[in-house]
Structure 1
């Protein structure tokens, strides 16, 4: 087994090693790194920053330009030397070192690899400062960054005053709040000459003395085209500035909720397609699926459903089971998923819900009950409406059909063969069918047979139960866009009802044209079109739009 890797993080000018803490925490939670034994995450303060604060040399400020004369004029070279020393410390022990840097730190890592080729096994660089030397003398250009930095407030009577200043400072409003807190932890230090007061560890004159250039995409595209085996350019992070590391330490979360009788795996073909979309590169950090109560891994036959006939009519079978109250049960399950995400400590990740049928209704009910939970909802035919005479007729059919369904096979192979050749599933996409079988059919050791994870009696109890109904105040409650999609052959989605919601609440709801040649099961029949519908809606949501300012946290 090879030596465990070291990830070496280098910050930008004016920052500190602590700014990497939110990113390191998230990386440590990733499946990739949890399966890599012994990874070390090393973040360092570069010269004149954080714990390496040094005001022994007073900066000389020339108001013309303005220009600052200070050893920090050679900040990248100084940072390079520090990073070389740190990389050699680990590399000499035979451990592979991977550099991850932002701005000045990215440039210093790059320069370190150039000075000692092979020092790093890889470099991940966020907008490295790059370009020709700044002209001196009368030809020196106007330095906007230096002027802005020199005007920055740098001293406060107490730490509390400094924290209040930065938490409310307009220039930092786009920052992730956890990243801001981490930055203040290392960038604000006690004033050595004024008891109780605090100052910036890197004085603005020192920061202004750093050679500063912004990122020009075309320059790096040219470098990558000339050396394709070395350099790789990623698409820009949508709506982010040079400070993307501070603004968005992670992307959005997409939370998927499935329908009655299905399982979390049915979203896999859609997620696979979403991950291939250029729109979502670097924009989505988590794709989260879960099994509804009594479905998939939550299989539960401890409560038996009781079959009876409504008004003693043999053509109107019904089932009594807790899932008769599925609107409440499924909404509670969706809210539990949100709380689970909250418990991981992710404070800034936009959350978007994508659901089908019962799952769509559950997400909608969650947002109505807890406004602001989601940044967007994309709903495929949520089950909605009063249980009236018309729905009763549909329930007669659905319950009868479900109770008559085969549910047990001598082997998994027999079950798979049954569904692959079943006429009712002939319109399904084959990848989608395989994904459904993966989670919806299980081998029961007690029965020594393959069975449906969600027993048809339990599934039928959903159709025999209530439907989601929202009050006027609940319909008006969502604080995010809610979009509806349907199939053009559906019998379970009344477009006129959803059109009425759009008419009353046009700033909340959108009812899209039906997906052609599909039924209520459009996600399974045509996952390609369903994926395109999701992408179209995501493109219109704020977190995916250019120029987006991060939303108030919903997690």
Structure 2
């Protein structure tokens, strides 16, 4: 576990944006000077896990991170289901608040797909996109699609069984620090996940429960298979596709196929896997700086 980054500081401002569908989108503003970097998280995480990366870039950029609906402090409108369009709307709400056309989007997994969905819905919103192993299945054979369906079904089952409640944040942290993939998170990133990814419960002053419920997480994994992938070839802004050298074969290959679809060379980060932004904020921030700033 990487430990050289500074501990997560609670200093930041919070923006709450009301959407017509009843969703309140929460954006965390980590400050900084320069172009706006909008960070978008993976399934089950939240905007605060980007804080260790943002801390390394605030001297060159204005860093902000959104909580997608059902994650962190962003609500899900009563009676609504999470969809690609809704996730894209969350990203657009954040980007529009900070000014369209000059915002640089940085997305991880689900976050990368949400960024692509947003740019397709409102072309010109982003100056460029940096997508780390985005959940965008393209160029797949029938056999690969069947493999994706099996992976998705497995993730749905895993998410549905995920433990949602702990006796305290300390107990939650002790649980995650011993179990992959979060055992590989840099200390500040894991602390951020636990500190801001849980809410207090009414019946116990110490107990906490996940803000992103197992049901929400499972529904997102299911949507990846059954919803059409964003048509990335229709995006006109520059795109960087990145992958981890230590990622699972499926995730690594998916990023390579996406890069091939866009006729660009993928960027490979050495020594990290699918959760690179949390595993090595220093390495990830350096890559974003190189390709986006």
Q: So what's the TM-score if we normalise by structure 1?
A: 0.42
What is the number of equivalent residue pairs in this alignment? 252
Q: Does the 8 A contact of 1:274 with 1:535 survive in 2? A: yes
Matches within 5 A, 1:64-213: none
Matched residues in 1 for 2:155 and 2:213: separation? Answer: 14
Question: What does 1:127-526 align with in structure 2 at a 5 Å threshold?
Answer: 251-276=34-59, 280=60, 284=61, 286-300=62-76, 322-323=81-82, 325=83, 327-342=84-99, 350-385=102-137, 388-446=145-203, 449-466=207-224, 467=227, 469-471=229-231, 475-488=232-245, 489-490=247-248, 491-493=250-252, 494-503=254-263, 509-512=264-267, 514-526=268-280
Distance change >3 Å, CA 383–CA 251, structure 1 → 2: same
Q: What is the TM-score when the length of structure 2 is the normalising length?
A: 0.77
Instruction: For 2:130 and 2:72, locate their aligned partners in 1 and report how far apart those are by CA, in whole Å.
Output: 23
CA distance in 2, matches of 1:299, 1:422: 28
Which structure 1 segments of 5+ residues have no match?
Answer: 1-29, 32-249, 304-320, 504-508, 540-555
**1:96-154 residue CA offsets vs partner (Å, 9 max, x unmatched):** xxxxxxxxxxxxxxxxxxxxxxxxxxxxxxxxxxxxxxxxxxxxxxxxxxxxxxxxxxx
Residue deviations 1:201-255 (CA, integer Å, cap 9, x gap): xxxxxxxxxxxxxxxxxxxxxxxxxxxxxxxxxxxxxxxxxxxxxxxxx731111
Q: Report the CA distance between 1:520 and its aligned residue.
A: 1.5
Q: CA deviation at 1:522?
A: 1.4
* Runs of 5+ consecutive residues of structure 2 not aligned to the other structure: 1-11, 14-32, 139-143
CA deviation profile, 1:158-205 (whole Å, cap 9, x unmatched): xxxxxxxxxxxxxxxxxxxxxxxxxxxxxxxxxxxxxxxxxxxxxxxx
Give the Å deviation of 1:485. Answer: 0.7
Q: Give SS of 1:295's match.
A: coil
- Tell me the distance in 1 between the aligned counterparts of 2:88 and 2:77: 21
- Whole-angstrom distance in 1 between the partners of 2:107 and 2:181: 22
The structure in which a higher percent of residues are strand is: 2
- Tell me which stretches of 4 or more aligned residues in structure 1 moved more than 4 Å: 299-303
Greater relative CO (CA pairs within 8 A, separation 6+): 2
- CA gap of 1:300–1:367, structure 2 versus 1, over 3 A, is closer
Max Rg structure: 1
Aligned pair in 2 of structure 1 residues 391, 424: CA closer, same or farther (>3 Å)?
A: same
Distance 1:401 1:476, change over 3 A: closer
Displacement of 1:519 after TM fit?
1.9
| Structure 2 counterpart SS, 1:262 | coil
